[in-house]
Amino acid sequence: MVNITHKSSTLRKAIAMAVVKVGDISTINAVLENTVPKGNVMEMAKAAGFFAIKKTSEIIPDCHPLPIEYAHVSYQIEGLEIKIKVEVQTIYKTGVEVEAMHGASVVALTIYDMLKPIDKNITIEKISLLEKTGGKSDYKNQDLNSISASIIVYSDEVYNKIKDDNAGKATFEYLQSLGLKTIQYQILPNNKQELEAIIKAQLLNQTKLILIVGGTGVGTKDDAPEIVSSFLDKELPGVMESARGYGQARTPHAMLSRGVAGVSGGALLITLPGSTKGAKETMQSLFPSLFHVFKTLENNL
pLDDT digits (tens, 9 = 90+) for 245-266: 888 888 888 888 999 999 999 9
pLDDT at 234: 95
Question: Among the options 24, 113, 138, 156, which is catalytic?
Answer: 113
Question: Among 134, 149, 173, which residue terminates a domain?
Answer: 134
Domain containing 62: what range? Answer: 11-134
Q: Is residue 6 part of a domain?
A: no
Q: Is residue 5 part of a domain?
A: no
Q: Decide if 156 is catalytic.
A: no
Prediction pTM value: 0.62
With a CB cutoff of 8 Å and minimum separation 6, the contacts of 112 are: 20, 122, 124
Closest CA to 108 of 90, 121, 122: 122
User: What's the number of domains the chain is made of?
Assistant: 2
Are 113 and 172 within one domain? no
CA distance 184 to 294: 18
∠ Cα 18 23 26 (to 5°): 105
Q: Is residue 38 part of a domain?
A: yes
What is the separation of C-alpha 178 from the centre of its chain, rounded to a whole number of angstroms?
11
Q: Is residue 2 part of a domain?
A: no
Are 148 and 293 within one domain? yes
Q: How far is CA 29 from CA 33, 53, 73, 230, 299, in A?
A: 6, 28, 20, 73, 59
pLDDT in tens, 184-217: 999 999 999 999 999 999 999 999 999 999 999 9
Q: Are 115 and 22 in contact (CB under 8 A)?
A: yes
Closest CA to 195 of 266, 271, 259, 261: 271
CATH number at residue 230: 3.40.980.10
Q: Are 239 and 261 in contact (CB under 8 A)?
A: yes
Question: Among 134, 164, 181, which residue terminates a domain?
Answer: 134
